Structure 1
Amino acid sequence: MEKLQERFVRVRKLLDITFFRVLFFLALGIILFLAMFNSVKPEKLDLSLFTVADMTIRSPGTVEDNQSTEKKRKEALDQVQDVYILKKEYTQNRVDLITSIFDSALEANAEMKEELKKEQLLNVDKLPSKTFEQDISNKITRLKAKLTDSVTKDLSDQVFSSLIQAKDDELSIAKDLTVTSINNVMTKRISAENVENAKKKVEEELKYTTLNKGLKSAAIELGRYAVIQNEFYDSSATEELRQQASKSVEPVKILQGQIIVEEGELINREIFRQLKLVGLLDNGNAFKPFLGLAFFIIIFLSSIYYYFYQMKTNVEKRQTYLLMFGIVFAVSILLIKIISMLQIVNFAGIGYLFPAAMGGMLIKILIDEKLAILFSIVMSVCGSILFNEGITGTLNYSEGIYILFSALAGILFLSSQNHRSKILQAGMFAASVNLVTILALLFLSNGHYSGLDYGYYLLSALVSGISSAVLTIGFLPFLESSFGILSSLRLIELSNPNHPLLRKILTEAPGTYHHSVMVANLAESACEAIGANGLLARVGCYYHDVGKTRRPNFFIENQLNQNNPHDRLLPEKSANIIIAHVADGVNILKKYHMPKEIIEIAEQHHGTTLLKYFFHKAQQRGADFKEEEFRYPGPKAQTKENAVVGIADSVEAAVRSLTQPTPDLIESLVKNIIEDRLEDGQLNECDLTLKELEIVSQTLCDTLKGIFHSRIEYPEIIKQKVGHA
């Protein structure tokens, strides 16, 4: 194990170099890509035109069928009818035209009559100078003068002759009949093809009137002349309808999972075209899924790299965490890959066997909860890709949701007090969440499952949760010992009173054991007040004075009703014995393979402080000595926890020496000890701030006041004292 740890240390040091760090992430990316390569590889089928399909083939994705869309759009355009509009004003215009012709005839007749009367008055004794034909001709000429050239050209002279020769009442009747007939016909739509039919309708209506033959012929000709086309093609309105019809056509899509060809069905040209369209026949777009997978991996690794980059911890610990994360990540991917290869058994729920909560719980215990959640998200996506056998598309969303919920259940259930029993409980909790998640997914799919199917699914969920806990407990000691990680679980195990070293302290130096427990209470509360690791401080206090077990009687807390051996020794000798307990403790802790954080607390809790009692005693003897001989070798406290343990150790020993501790005396003593350590430079190498020192001082005072509060004596005790007096 030590050789393995040394190898991990060498690899961790390589990660300090940017090139090897990039190489590390590249290796993770390659592992991911190779694991999911076959899962995203497009399925290619050896199919030929006009052959019979030996299996039912579904579309692997949703694809727009442009050819079918265009065909459907063309059909919609063909169904759009041309738009024709009715020009209603044409009816009134033609009615007005015919009316004006009849009115002009009446006017012409009236004028001719007036002129005839004048001529008769002037030429009473003379015979008429004009013949009948001349008179008619003059009337026609007069009538034509009142009309437009187009009308006179389009109508025959017979019409004008009939109108001129008709009486006024006959003209009025003819006008009304003609206008009525024209109005009846032209109020309806008359296309260019139906103009002649409309003219015939007018002719039919006027043919059966009581007009005389000449006037009837004239009315018919005028009626036919008046009827014209009143329905015309509207290009803009037609185009607008065509555009609306084109837009209303929804794109034709071949949906993911849609059956393209049934087993035993002939592959005709249309089916063959659809198979080619969805990419099941050619390799032209085979690179796209791999490119998408590469993008996924880049997103994953970038988020992980950024998380470690902004992690607020020292470089050594960051690289240790990174290497440990890579191992957990690789093991999880390997497990998913192995289980995904079992999909050949055609059991849809094989992916539910994956111990999804394992990786997340390991990372939470060893590193951080946020990173564990990020890890769970990545695993859920990878699982949805790897467990896509038997489904249409690349992503199995049910498996992804299952893995995510299972992992989050395990992570969130674990607390800071991560006992092994707590991990088992987290596994059971994850198993229960797995059961509920699977039932939710099954019910949402609204599928038909037998009781045996439900049994298989629920058994898989139970196995996943329990195996997650078992594997977490199994991997945890290996990772802790290989990387020298001091997890909360490991600290709790070290705090067990049955630990061999704690039993050694209790049996060989009971006073030191009691002192260590008191210091642990003080240090833990102070560390938690400033946001430091209170559990580490407590456990470190339990072992910080283990070196005193070498010579327990030389330390005052173990001298119960015994003479102090230092009274018979020189100050220099006594100082060496006292100082030696630090080195002795470090050696004992290393012998028991204790975590380096615990060893550092034992090594640094005195820093380079001065043994003032023996120093002043030596000064009184007047011997030739150096002050360094009465100082601890150090090093000084390097972390907040180590510094707080050192302060709590001195405070507990000082307060214990007081005969009548009062709150004011305790507060004064605590402040003096902290100020003395500051002035002596014992806190120069840790990152404790003055504000945090003030919080530590106040917390220690509050805790000590609670321990050394004054007690009320019971009456029986008072009577006993009086009786003894």
Structure 2
Amino acid sequence: MITQKKTARPASFLALIHALRARHHCGWGLAALIITFFALSLLAGANFEVVPRIYVAGQVADSDVVADRDILVEDTQATKARRKQVLFLQPPVYDLSLEPYVAFQNRIVEILRSLNNGVDYKAQEGPLQRLADELTPPVTDEVLPELSHPEVQSYLLKTLLPSIREHMAEGLVGDIRSARVGRSGVIIRNLDNNTEILRPDVTNLPDVQSFLAEVSSIVRQVPALNAQSRRAINILLSATVPASLTLNREATQKRGNAVMSMVEPVYYQILKGELLIRKGERVSREQQIKLQTLYKSASDPMHWGTAMGTFLCSLVLSVGFFVAPSGKPGTPLRCKDMLLISLLLLLFSVGAKIVYVLGLRMDSVTFLNTLCLGFPVAGAVGLVAMVFAARRYCTMGLLLSFFTMLMFQEDFYFFLFQFLGGMLATWLVTNAQSRQDVVWSIVPLTIGQSLIWFGTALLSQTAPAELPVQLAAVAINSLLSLILLFAVSPVLELSFGYSTRFRLMELMSLEQPLMQELMVTVPGTYHHSLVVSNMVEAGAKAIGANSLLCKVAALYHDVGKLSYPEYFIENQFGGPNKHDKLAPSMSALILLSHVKKGTELAERYKLGQDIVDIISQHHGTRIIRYFYQKALNLGEKPRESDYSYLGPRPQTKEAAILMLADSVEASSRTLTDPTPARIKSHIDAIIKGIFSEGQLDESELTFKDLHYLSENFQRILTGIFHQRIAYPDAKIRDVASKVGGKADGKTDAKPEGKTDGRPDAKSDGKPDVKSDGKPDVRVESKADARQEPNGETAGAATPATGMPVLPHVPVVTPHAAAQGGAKNGGAENVKSERTSTAPTNGGRPDLSAAAAQPGQPVQSGQAGQNQTGQAGQPESSGKSGQQDQPGQTSQAGQPGQASGQVQPGQGTPQKPSDKGAR
């Protein structure tokens, strides 16, 4: 349908920025909304709870103590046991270094040097004396002489010392029995190269005692050493060989403390309503800890974490107010919309907090839970659904459920119950057709909320004893929600000027004063509005817009024509066209004024701001092309702004739907032989023209929406322009010949029952009977055209069905005008060519051939707009579809008519007499 493509903006965070920038004129409303979020966040974090009394272990409680919230109490014994276990599993740290071997080697060398120098260990301090201090005097006297032998010293220095170094490099533990072995192994830090390795355990490493035993067995096998020398070597090594792998207690303790600090405390949960201490019971140590935890939680005046988290979450949830699901900025929120949202959030959240504090004073958890379930969040959400679109009342439901959950300090199951209950209420409200329907909705609302509550009760494992009381609270919730809807909806209508569903239903009544005035004063406009209302209702339902608002706005969209009804073609009924005597600028001024007059009347009769806005937007900023072109043909230099509606362009889906339906319905009256294919082609052309003018840029309509609208418009119009079987009643033809006969006594009545070839003419051949009892049969005669002084034909009569012939800017060429084509709204000051062309297309002139002749002037609603190319069906993407262009219809003349058209060789037809007119 729409061939032109627009570059789609990606759905991103920038869409939210653009949406907020578009509402800079509502800065104070946005600021009020943010301040409300901040205030409610502080209220959610504030602590209004009663501080419990503290009992010391050993005291006797004089009253029951019940937990008023879910709390976590630290289990100190379990925490200590877990930390001890973690510390035990932490591997100890051992240091590995060759520094002890270097000291050992230096000591052996000094001892041997002192022996070789004949130093007396008793008279002189030195290595020998320190060795003697470690050994007993008899052993010393036995060992030192043996160590002075050359073969012993050679074996020590060349054989044993390298072997000892090799073993100490791998690690020698001082005492394997005192070594700390962890279940996770040991950490060995090599201090020489600053590396760490994890060994499964240290028991597989040799200790000093094991190593000395191994050395003793090796020394025993040396044949060059006697028994005394071997004994001396073993005694020397046992006194001097150190351990190279030592436990680093400081590093082990530091790492153990770090691991224990990472162990979270063990808590056990105390549920809300749990009895902590019974009256007359002696308080234990464990109960004292529970009371202290409860007291600490209740004594904090503000939970800042809760407040900040609430504020951030509320900002995220409110994005649905500003951005559509597609990611594009939605319909602008007005200041009063933000004020209403802020007031509802503030009132219900504060009310929930008050109810919660009162429930705490009652000292009954069961009663508090009952109050929470009885709070009517569903009524508030249903109230918002009366004035907002689906995505906005869903967002409001999320916010209200979120804030009430925090105020009552409830869990996710409470949030789920309130939100789903609110969505059920919105579905019932939006589908109600009268206030009585809303009254009866208490039955499905109560049943639905009961089922939702029962599901959440099963999920939260509610005690069976509490189920009957909570079920009663759910029923009270439904009743309060219904009362809230009826009590507050008049306040929204009077204080904020909203058009609620109740108000819109009242405006649809035929007893409304303004509706009565429409039916009596401008019946043509009224019937046009009826058809448009049916079209917009079907289209709105197809794309998910507010169908009720669309329908009511369509009924009142042309109330401004009450000021000058005779200047609009649908209300002339074949009378003289007053625009023939007016300048184009004056005619355009009258037509432009009907929008302003309409908004004034809508405000005077208090139709609601939504309807006032749609009336002011239903023509957008389009140009009245007919009078603009007429001014050009008269040699004037008109400005487009003088012939354009003031707008604004449609800002909502509802206003855009009305603009499209208004133009489509008006221009469809010009169709000749309106078959379904021609109707579809015509609708697509009108929608394409409006789209190409940019009139839909500020609405939320998508290409998919335009496709659905086109289908529904075609369905409605096809039903209106249906064909009927002709009734072969001679009497009707006789009446038709008497009313609109030709000079030769013959009539133009078609066998099919059509009298003038128009799509809305009676096809059954029956005449319309007027209030005076005379038949009203339309025939094609001289009465259907009037000859103006400048040679133009204008002011076509209304079709016989009583439906108004709405204006249209046709494609007219002089050649087509000479054939008797649609001349009522054609180009001005075009001389009629006296050319004779045989009728084609089954008795209709072939306008396509005439329109294709070069050098012929072609008028269209939009410069550069393509024509449909169908005979008798001009296309205009500009103002061709507007019903408020007076004095024009694009009725194609029928061939074979003896009057009402200029034939070659004939003069100008005479002005018709009143006898042939309606």
TM > 0.5 between the two? yes
Tell me which moved more, 670-679 or 699-708: 670-679
Amino acid at match of 2:43: I
**What displacement does 1:542 show?**
1.4
Q: Deviations over 1:208-247 (max 9, x none)?
A: xxxxxxxxxxxxxxxxxxxxxxxxxxxxxxxxxxxxxxxx
Residue 430, structure 1, aligned to residue 475, structure 2: no
Residue 410, structure 1, aligned to residue 425, structure 2: yes
Partner residue in 2 for 1:651: 664
Q: Secondary structure at the residue paired with 1:638? A: coil
Partner residue in 2 for 1:711: 724
In 2, Cα distance between equivalents of 1:711 and 1:703: 17
**What displacement does 1:407 show?**
3.3
- Contact 1:417/1:489 (CA < 8 Å) preserved in 2? no
Partner residue in 1 for 2:76: 66
Residue 631, structure 1, aligned to residue 643, structure 2: yes
After superposition, the Cα gap between the structure-2 partners of 1:32 and 1:623, relative to the gap in structure 1 and judged at 3 Å, is same
Question: Structure 2: 5+ residue runs without aligned partners?
Answer: 1-22, 85-265, 738-918
Amino acid at match of 1:61: I
Written as runs of structure 1 = structure 2, the 5 A alignment for 1:492-503 is 492-503=505-516
After superposition, the Cα gap between the structure-2 partners of 1:283 and 1:607, relative to the gap in structure 1 and judged at 3 Å, is closer
**What displacement does 1:710 show?**
0.8
Partner residue in 2 for 1:214: none
Amino acid at match of 1:44: P
**What displacement does 1:629 show?**
8.7
- Contact 1:275/1:281 (CA < 8 Å) preserved in 2? no
Written as runs of structure 1 = structure 2, the 5 A alignment for 1:313-324 is 313-314=329-330, 316-317=332-333, 321-324=337-340
In 1, Cα distance between equivalents of 2:528 and 2:665: 8
Amino acid at match of 1:430: L
After superposition, the Cα gap between the structure-2 partners of 1:370 and 1:279, relative to the gap in structure 1 and judged at 3 Å, is farther
Residue 559, structure 1, aligned to residue 572, structure 2: yes
- Contact 2:72/2:268 (CA < 8 Å) preserved in 1? yes
**In the alignment, which of 352, 374, 379 is matched to residue 358 of structure 1?**
379
**In the alignment, which of 490, 501, 516 is matched to residue 529 of structure 2?**
516
- Contact 1:335/1:354 (CA < 8 Å) preserved in 2? no
Amino acid at match of 1:14: W
- Contact 2:537/2:548 (CA < 8 Å) preserved in 1? yes
After superposition, the Cα gap between the structure-2 partners of 1:570 and 1:441, relative to the gap in structure 1 and judged at 3 Å, is closer
In 2, Cα distance between equivalents of 1:659 and 1:681: 29
Question: Structure 1: 5+ residue runs without aligned partners?
Answer: 1-8, 75-250, 388-393
Residue 463, structure 1, aligned to residue 449, structure 2: no
**In the alignment, which of 236, 253, 263 is matched to residue 279 of structure 2?**
263
Q: Secondary structure at the residue paired with 1:635? A: coil
Written as runs of structure 1 = structure 2, the 5 A alignment for 1:183-222 is none
Q: Deviations over 1:419-438 (max 9, x none)?
A: 54444344443333455567
**In the alignment, which of 56, 59, 62 is matched to residue 51 of structure 1?**
59
After superposition, the Cα gap between the structure-2 partners of 1:626 and 1:476, relative to the gap in structure 1 and judged at 3 Å, is same
**In the alignment, which of 615, 629, 648 is matched to residue 602 of structure 1?**
615
In 1, Cα distance between equivalents of 2:269 and 2:542: 63
**In the alignment, which of 27, 31, 42 is matched to residue 13 of structure 1?**
27
Partner residue in 1 for 2:816: none
Partner residue in 1 for 2:343: 327
- Contact 1:279/1:285 (CA < 8 Å) preserved in 2? no
In 1, Cα distance between equivalents of 2:701 and 2:448: 43
Q: Deviations over 1:595-623 (max 9, x none)?
A: 44433433343445454555666677x57
Q: Deviations over 1:688-710 (max 9, x none)?
A: 67776566555434432221021
After superposition, the Cα gap between the structure-2 partners of 1:27 and 1:385, relative to the gap in structure 1 and judged at 3 Å, is closer
- Contact 1:65/1:277 (CA < 8 Å) preserved in 2? no
Amino acid at match of 2:646: G
Q: Deviations over 1:472-513 (max 9, x none)?
A: 233234345555545555544433333332222112211110
In 2, Cα distance between equivalents of 1:633 and 1:665: 29
Written as runs of structure 1 = structure 2, the 5 A alignment for 1:651-690 is 651-658=664-671, 660-667=673-680, 669-670=682-683, 673-674=686-687, 677=690
In 2, Cα distance between equivalents of 1:296 and 1:491: 40
In 2, Cα distance between equivalents of 1:569 and 1:341: 74
Q: Secondary structure at the residue paired with 1:63? A: strand
The alignment's TM-score, normalised by the length of structure 2, stands at 0.48
After superposition, the Cα gap between the structure-2 partners of 1:584 and 1:58, relative to the gap in structure 1 and judged at 3 Å, is closer
Written as runs of structure 1 = structure 2, the 5 A alignment for 1:471-490 is 471-479=484-492, 482-486=495-499, 490=503
After superposition, the Cα gap between the structure-2 partners of 1:68 and 1:529, relative to the gap in structure 1 and judged at 3 Å, is closer
Q: Secondary structure at the residue paired with 1:711? A: coil
- Contact 1:308/1:322 (CA < 8 Å) preserved in 2? no
Pairs aligned (count): 520
- Contact 2:546/2:654 (CA < 8 Å) preserved in 1? yes
Q: Quick one: higher RCO (CA 8 Å, sep 6+), 1 or 2?
A: 1
Q: Deviations over 1:61-98 (max 9, x none)?
A: 35343337879999xxxxxxxxxxxxxxxxxxxxxxxx
Percent identity among equivalent residues? 27
- Contact 1:45/1:281 (CA < 8 Å) preserved in 2? no
- Contact 2:618/2:659 (CA < 8 Å) preserved in 1? yes
Written as runs of structure 1 = structure 2, the 5 A alignment for 1:83-98 is none
In 1, Cα distance between equivalents of 2:457 and 2:687: 64
- Contact 2:28/2:335 (CA < 8 Å) preserved in 1? no
Q: What root-mean-square deviation, in Å, do the aligned CA atoms of Structure 1 and Structure 2 show?
A: 4.6
- Contact 1:406/1:431 (CA < 8 Å) preserved in 2? no
Structure ranking higher in helix proportion: 1
In 1, Cα distance between equivalents of 2:522 and 2:390: 40
Q: Secondary structure at the residue paired with 1:53? A: coil
**What displacement does 1:50 show?**
3.6
Written as runs of structure 1 = structure 2, the 5 A alignment for 1:539-578 is 539-560=552-573, 562-566=575-579, 573-578=586-591
